[in-house]
Structure 1
Amino acid sequence: MKSVILLVLLGLAMRCSAVAPASPIDSLRHELDTAPADTTRVLLLSQLAAELTHIDPLATIAYCRQALQLAQKIGFRRGQALALIRLGSGFREAGNYPAALYFGLKGLHLAEEVSNAPLVARGLNALGYLNWEQGNSRAALFYLRRAKAVAERSHADAVLTRVLGNIGNVYLQLHQPDSALFYSRQGLALDLRNHDLSSEVGDAAMLGNIYASLGDVRQAQHYYRYSLRRSMGDGFTFALCRAYLGQARLFYPSTGPPTDSALYFAQEALNTAQRGNYPRGEYEAAQFLATAQAARHDTAAAFRFQQLANITRDTLFSTTKLAHMQALDVGERLRLGELDVQRVQAATHRRQIWLMVTLAATLPALLLLWRYGRLRQRANQQLNAQNAQLEAQRDELRATLVRLEATQAQLVQSEKMAFLGELTAGIAHELQNPLAFVKNFADVSTLLVDDMAGEPTAAGDGGQELLLAGLRRNLREISQHGQRATSIISSMLARSHGGPPPPHLPTNLNALALEYLRLAYQGMRAKNKTFVAARSTHLAAHLPLVPVVAPDLGRVFLNLFCNAFYAVRQRQQCGEAGYAPAVHLSSRLLPSGHIEISVRDNGPGIPAAVRACIFQPFFTTKATGEGTGLGLALAHDIVVRDHGGTLTVDSCENEFTEFIICLPVPDVLPNGAAMGHAMAAT
């Protein structure tokens, strides 16, 4: 009894706090007193109706009708859509579900016509809430998910805050409390951020229901009391009913009769619903009280509450079913009437056609039969001619097919021979450099042997040792370049047969480039004893090791260096005054994690028309016998296809040509040894 007294006192205190006037509603009414009959008044009427939806649904309906009439009068289509959507919400709160559905759909369609995304989201949310109240969970979830997507795309947070809470309501109705808790928490957080009190008290009460379904009584009590405290001053009937009825269920034990607290809160829910004209809340509270009184063996009270629940249920659902049946009946009658009219029109049309055909066929029947025979004979003749023509075309196609098969065989053989020629040319081009080095070192070795044979013995052992050391060095070079030639042949043959690619090993690119710069210069000097060119390098220190196929990438460097020395020699031979041949090698680490290596010469440059073709196979600007046109094409394939990098060229005629290699560097490899900056000139 003490707990009941305390609860009564708490209820009285909360009711006393409701004496304060609802300032937003009063301010809206004050603005309406002076508002002109334009779009501003339509929006004020709609906003006032929205504020009263959960407090006085009948007033909401009245204000929405005023807004709708004025919007139609002044041609304010967006205002019409807003008034229709909120009119549907008013009818929903008043328990007239068919009218709510009718006006809600009409408002949604008009919002879509005017392409107002926030209004579309609001209309979809209203239809989802309506289906949830009727127990149509799947349809409700369909509308609410669409509303959520539209509200998020249009950044309509004022609608999204209500949509999230309503999705939580539906998931609780589907007995999925975890999903319900997720969306209801999001909805309450957005309510607080947007200061939407109506949505806030509803989401708080629904959170109480969710925690009650999860068995967390303490959290359920917390949110019920929170909703009651926030709802009481503004009279949000739906939230008060949820909170009161939720607490009543908490005080209803699983076994035995309900407690006095359960009856008290259920009675408060019933009284609140009746004061606020909220039929659904009245039905749920009366049904609960009927069950509770029956459990306490108070038959008279149970009968009285059950009778009230039945009356309210008939108001909500039987009227709805009747309205739907009437709507379906009227629609069906209209459809049948239209079908009857269409059938009569079709029968009349057919009779007219048959009458005309009969009249037309009576007199000229013989003429038509004769003409039909002639046409049939002519058609047969044309068909025979077409058959003969098709037969001739078929024979011609067969002969063409035989010729095509023979041509295809010739093309395949030609392709094989072209591939063999390309492979042979590639191998010959690649072998030119190592074989030239082998020949040069062999010639030098021959001279050393001749010197040894002709040197007098009085010269002592010192001269012999120097000659032998040079001979050993030359033999090592001959062996290395012979191995390079063997490796090139093996690599080319493996590629032609589709064998496995060679392994990529971590390599110091600075050291590799310097080695082939030296070899290329020696090769050019061996061919032209008088040739001298300045060589300079600017290599970045601490370049990381890069996984590459060192022999293949060495062939790229060698080709670029040989082309550079060839270019500067060609310009030197032109006799240009003051010209000094120079080749520059540089490397750097880019911020993107790539290593860039450039080979630059001050030769004659490459014309713009030629630059677009230099990487094509068999394209060369060298004289006949000096180049195959495969060097840059193979170099491009090695860098781009085999190493995932890029090979580009920049040139200005009579100034310079620069080839730039850019290779990616994996993060997992350790940094290479420091190369430092080297500036050398020869």
Structure 2
Amino acid sequence: MKILIAFISSFFLYTVCCAQNNALDTLDKLINKAASDTARINLLNKKISLLSNINIDSSINLGKKTLEEAIKVNYKKGEGAVRLKLAGNYCFKGDYKTAAENLKIAEAIFKQLKDSLYIGRLYAGYGMMYGMQSRYDTAIQYYQQSIAIDERNGNLNEIARSYNNLAISYQMQSDFTRALQYQQKSLKIAEDRQDEAMQARTLVNIGLTYKSMGDIERSEQSLLKSAELARKQHIKNVELYAYSNLASLYEAKEEYKKEYEYAMKSVLLGGEMGDQGIQSSGLSKAAYALARQQKFTDAEKLGKQSVLLADSSNQPLNIYQAYSAMGFVLKTEGKYTDAIPYLEKAFEVLKGADIYDEQVGKSYMDLSECYEKTGNYSKALSTYKMSTQIADSIASKENVRKATELTMNYEFDKKQQVATAEQKQKEALASAKQLALMIGLGFALLLTILAFIGYRNKQRANALLHRQKTELNDALTKLRATQAQLIQAEKMASLGELTAGIAHEIQNPLNFVNNFSEVSAELIDEMREEIDKGDAASIKTLATDIKLNLEKITHHGKRADAIVKNMLQHSRSSTGAKEMSDINALADEYLRLSYHGIRAKDKSFNATLQTDFDKSIGRINIMQQDIGRVILNLITNALYAVTEKKRLLADADYNPTVTVSTKKIKDKVEIRVSDNGMGVPQRIIDKIFQPFFTTKPTGEGTGLGLSLSYDIITKGHGGEMKIDTKEGEYATFIIILPL
């Protein structure tokens, strides 16, 4: 579980190179001997930073007193620095309002002073505040501004912290590639500067990124190393986050006793620091561990304690975790009705947060199971869909593959650097021996040894590269298989939308078949009577009528057969082969099927369907299945848009209208699907073709339709796909295909 990645590497935590208590004693002596008010306030600011690593409440109390002193002597820079540190501490306490007030005042001070160093730290402070509220998009913007300033100033310490914090925001959005990229940059700076405190902070977050990627071994190594360095440097907050994340790791390994042990270690340290958020997090993890060991009484007790602490922490992620943990305990115990309110509360807290986390997907699955067990099958289905969508996105093979490749490259570069350094050392030693011995035989022997070592190293390097290439090829094969499965799943979903329309279209020819069959039976009876009478003329007339009926039965039977074949073709995986197809007929057929599908669900729904087909187009060379799927998706979206507008407006004068048109323009064909619905807001136009982006309510849209359609048109056919829209009035999707 991605429970607490607090922004532990934040801008206000300074590197410590000795035990915290010794540092505090030294600072107290210097404070007492301070020669001026400004010098005293600067030293007090350092003490506030050290206390932040030990006890947040003590740090806040000292910060308030120092702030009064700075204001009293009119030391603006000192006042701004104090407010930055107070803002960070208030964030850890969940008091974001007070944190924001201090940041705004500090911003005014540093902009007036034109102090670029502190302005960079200020933006990092804003990033931390928004990040701890799970508003990661906003946090990313501020961290990028902070990094730009720090890079201009050449301040490596600040750059490393900002890289680390920016990585956390990407990590919480499951963008593991970018997260790992910035974490590795931060770690390299820390290693080059031999800054073990910064290494500890970075490694704890790298460990969590590896866990999210499913690389349990690297995750455990990183977290244990982080905890070791944090203990050595006496950085309690980093140590407790390492423990908290180790608890999550052992949950993934199904080692529930270890999960409980490390969770309670984080609770103990969180209590010492006065951090209610981390206490709540640790208690919820411990509750998970006990529930999986069937110790439900103790699990419920810890879960309730976690909920109380989380509510007072005012941190959305902690509140979500506490309530989802309590819901899991009750669900595992079989108390499905009792579990539902806790799980619903957990998701209510996450509204507006930029979190796309695997644990969220698991909690949706828990809630779906509770709904199913209590008979609420519609909600069970919608929450199950949310769970699978989140799981598919988080487990994206491309996402994990890129991050894994980045890890391999980073480790390979480090090995190469070590190998290069060792090689230089050997060459220097060889030169020294040559100068000292001046013996040709020794020189030749040394060259032979070096050549042998080089050959062995080359063999090992070649073997490593071959193994890496094989692993990457395997990952690529799995990725392509996953992509094919994803496309097939979307196709089946769209086929489901057409079911009612297909039934309507098949019903008409079947009715004709039945009617003409009955009439033919009656004509045969009449023919028998005429045969008995010997009336040859009547017999011939009746035979002609029967033949006409049979031709009509054959015609309508073939129509039903064509509908079924088209739908079977729609459900199959695309062969990628193009064929000459009638684009006008294809568009007209899917328009009618989609409309009747909507009508089957809602008999009261009516809409005007308009077509304007350019007959001069004729047949064009396309992948019929894929283009049909694109047209179906656009028409379905258009019908949904006018349905929603009619529902929202409740206006008798509103006439829902969907128009499909084709037009030949020189060497291209243009297909337009238009509706007079609500249109697409300008702020999301750039996102509508992105995977998993949808404006539909939870459970009603996968967010894959337009993304797959865009790929089919642009990549599969070398065409264009764009949108013309006005919010509140209309939307037109335009497809342009080359002839």
Q: Same fold (TM over 0.5)?
A: no
TM-score range, shorter chain: 0.3 to 0.5
More RCO (CA 8 Å, sep 6+): 2
Larger radius of gyration: 1
The TM-score, its normalising length taken from structure 2, stands at 0.39
